[in-house]
Structure 1
Amino acid sequence: MNTYWLLSIGLSMSISVAVAHEGHANTTQAPAVQPLEVKGTHDAQTYFTDTLLLNQQGESVRFYSDVLKDRIVVLNVIFTHCEDACPLITRKLKEVREAMGEEAAKKVTFISLTSDPLRDTPQVLAEYARKHGADSANWIFLTGTQANMDLVLGRLGHFIESPEQHSTQLIAGDVAHKQWSKIRPDAPVPAIVQRLKLLSMPIAGR
């Protein structure tokens, strides 16, 4: 079987779980925005899976087909009872969205997945989004059964035993063209904006 193009992200993300919630970020290693080389041709839907999740409106969605497919995305993991890193990163992503300007921001889908699905119901996620100004149309919050969230988070490199153990690293990607970057949570807002705008450009212009 060919090496799937995102498996390298999964492996590198699993390493970065050590740079987890308590530490917020490793600021002494790795550049703030780190492009990842794309290798292999394995099917994206097979890798990401169409696991059923729930968005903050309580709607059932398939992770790949309804959330990721053909989109420019930035993904992060949160849990709503967090009082340190999660709200800070949510605020930073809100600042990123504002700094991009409405037209550019509409090209990017922001995706926040909970690491605490037992407590983070759709209603709880919707309230969290409102509280933090993250309730824009293209910002999706996802929850589901524990088993389904474990599967999806595992595909993103988050192999965790408790909500607090998730990595705070961001993943940005152009799903259709298999272009991906890891982004440290302490990366400056302009650096994140630049990467997302680059991913949003037509492929020939990159």
Structure 2
Amino acid sequence: MTRTQKTVFILVAVVALILGLTVNKVLTSKGQADPTALLDAGIVLLPQSRDLPELSLVDQDGQAFRVDRLEKQWSLLFFGYTFCPDICPATLAELRQLRTLLPEEARDNLRVVLVSVDPQRDTPEQLKKYLGYFDAEFIGLTGELEAIQKLANAVSIPFIPADTSEENYTVNHSGNLVIVGPDGTQRGFIRAPLKNAKLAAQLPELLKPAG
């Protein structure tokens, strides 16, 4: 490599570095989240949002709840059940704590939804009683097992239905959360176990109302 070529190479590298720093500064100034910080908090955003299936479940008040009602706010969906011995109560307690760590605007723009993977035992009444131990604003959904499986598969949180003939049966399921945007589409996941301090730092920017 000649001296002139080396000089040109160095100039190109310097220009590239300056452009990179400039682009990073512009993105930061626009309030865009740092992908590395999001991943460190356990937040995985999809490269392209996914539509949710058109189906109806039943909420904790016994009212029909269409999945397309998950609009206008951000939602965190957790697939679990009220007779779960460990993952579910721990996750719901962490979600209750997370809400207290968020600023008011972010908290008001976020709903937490427990989708039951044990509809045989999780009646609306059972869901309402159980969620009341954590946060009365949490939403509980139950319904036909087939519909719940369809939703779980669509958002890539499959579970293994239990043998309900067994006494005190348990259900194998994931502890990950599904992120649903205000447009009703899946935007990503939050990986378990939850890192509340880091989530509280990253979620407010993500949960800002559109516009």
TM-score under structure 2 length normalisation = 0.69
Deviation for aligned residue 1:78: 1.2
| Total equivalences in the alignment | 165
Is the 1:92–1:189 Cα contact (8 Å) retained in structure 2? Answer: yes
Is the 2:60–2:127 Cα contact (8 Å) retained in structure 1? Answer: yes
Alignment-mate amino acid for residue 188 of structure 1: K
Is the 1:113–1:141 Cα contact (8 Å) retained in structure 2? Answer: yes
Deviation for aligned residue 1:193: 2.1
Give the number of the structure whose alpha-carbon radius of gyration is greater: 2
Residue 14 (structure 2) aligns with: none
Residue 44 (structure 2) aligns with: 35
Deviation for aligned residue 1:135: 1.1
| Structure 1 residues not aligned, in runs of 5+ | 1-29
Is the 1:36–1:179 Cα contact (8 Å) retained in structure 2? Answer: no
Q: Secondary structure at the match of 2:93?
A: helix
Residue 195 (structure 1) aligns with: 202
Residue 25 (structure 2) aligns with: none
- Deviation readout 1:103-134 (Å, 9 max, x if unpaired): 43111111111110111010000011112x22
Residue 100 (structure 2) aligns with: 98
Residue pairs, 1:115-154, within 5 angstroms: 115-131=117-133, 133-136=134-137, 139-154=138-153
Identity of aligned residues (%): 24
| Structure 2 residues not aligned, in runs of 5+ | 1-38, 163-170
Deviation for aligned residue 1:75: 1.3
Q: Secondary structure at the match of 1:150?
A: helix
Residue pairs, 1:57-96, within 5 angstroms: 57-64=61-68, 66=69, 68-96=70-98
Q: How far apart, in 2, do the equivalents of 1:99 and 1:93 lie?
A: 10
Is the 1:113–1:142 Cα contact (8 Å) retained in structure 2? Answer: yes
Deviation for aligned residue 1:92: 0.1
Q: Of residues 159, 172, 184 in structure 2, which corresponds to 1:165? A: 172
RMSD of aligned Cα (Å): 2.3
Alignment-mate amino acid for residue 205 of structure 2: L
Is the 2:81–2:117 Cα contact (8 Å) retained in structure 1? Answer: yes
Is the 1:174–1:199 Cα contact (8 Å) retained in structure 2? Answer: no
TM-score under structure 1 length normalisation = 0.71
Deviation for aligned residue 1:35: 3.0
Residue 189 (structure 2) aligns with: 182
